[in-house]
Amino acid sequence: MKSLEKKKQKRSAAMIFKKNISGWVLILPSVFLLFLIVWRPVGMAFYYSLFRLQGMKAVAFVGLRNFRDVITDTAFLQTVGNTVKYVLWSLVIGMPIPFFAAVMINEMVRGKGYFKFAMYLPVIVPTVATCLIWKMLYLDGEGGLLNALLYFVGIGPANWLSNKTLTIPLVIIASTWQGFGTTLIMYLASLQSVDQNLYEAARVDGTGFWGRFWHILLPHMRGTILLLAMRQIIGVFQITEQPLVMTGGGPNGASMSLGLTNYFYAFQYGQFDKSMALGVISFLFLIGLTFIYFKLDRKFSE
């Protein structure tokens, strides 16, 4: 009986494969590229993180020693704390502003096309150019634009990027300015899918803007807000270019992130084994955040 059941299962599996063979053929190149570009490097990072490296050559198996060296580094906890600050400030600054801007544009009768274009324009500016522009705005002394404005009104100069308290929020403001347009467009796409009959019925009943906002718009946008929040958390968790160009990780490590530390391990100190270990640690953090997102998404969907 068991052998007959196994034969039936094999036949059914073969039939399913034959029916979907065209789909398998079409998806095979994508699967191969995914393996080559994504999973193979991830697997190699896990493998090399267990070895002492000379350049990119594994010379001795050391087990978890690279992970221990990274975690016990005196600056590791500060770097993790800075990365968490980057994420929190990005949620405070980078989430509500594009959302409310999208709501305002969606409520407009005229000029939507202009504001969409104007707000999306910074996205096409390269990241390094954006960082250099904002670095010039934040320069200490009379050379910075913000300080020039302060001189003009008689307040005097301020320390911007050299202030430990302000460094991370200022970097996040620059990053938000560049990514503002993408988030805005995604919010607008979700807003335009709201059933207009609900809006019309609410207007006929005399419901004002805030009533429509709380009872129609927010419930509809909940999934999009969650998706963009997790997307932003995962993206900002890997922030590297902005602190590298604007602060170099200073002052005194106040703006150092995990991504920037990884960059320094590999390209400034030549410690590729530690870089691999830190990359694996960051990868595991991001996998955990992804699982949290899926659980929250399933909970809200129910």
Contact 210, 217 (CB under 8 A): no
CA distances from 233 to 30, 76, 130, 239, 245 (A): 27, 20, 20, 10, 21
* Residue 118, both tokens: 């104007």
Question: What's the pTM value of the predicted model, to 2 decimals?
Answer: 0.83
Give me the residues paired with residue 58 across strands: 53
CA distances from 23 to 13, 14, 16, 39 (A): 15, 14, 11, 22
How big is the CA angle at 116 (ends 114 and 122), to the nearest 5 degrees?
105
DSSP 46-77: HHHTTEEEETTEEEEE-TTHHHHHHHTSTTHH
Residue 240 CB-half CA count within 13 A: 12
Q: pLDDT (tens digit, 0 to 9) for every residue of the chain, 302 residues total?
A: 556 566 656 666 667 667 777 777 888 888 888 888 888 888 888 898 898 888 778 888 988 899 999 999 888 889 999 999 999 999 888 888 888 888 888 877 777 788 888 888 888 888 889 999 999 888 887 778 888 888 888 787 788 888 888 899 999 999 988 888 888 888 888 888 777 777 777 777 777 767 777 877 777 787 788 888 888 888 888 899 999 999 988 888 899 999 999 999 988 888 898 999 999 998 888 888 888 877 777 776 66
Q: Which domains does the chain have, with CATH numbers?
A: 2-48 (no CATH), 73-301 (1.10.3720.10)
Residue recorded with tokens 């050391």: 62
Indicate the residue type of 46.
Answer: F
| C-alpha span between 180 and 101 (Å, rounded) | 10
Indicate the residue type of 238.
Answer: Q
| C-alpha span between 173 and 180 (Å, rounded) | 10
* Residue 195, both tokens: 């059933």
* Residue 85, both tokens: 């600050």
| C-alpha span between 61 and 27 (Å, rounded) | 37
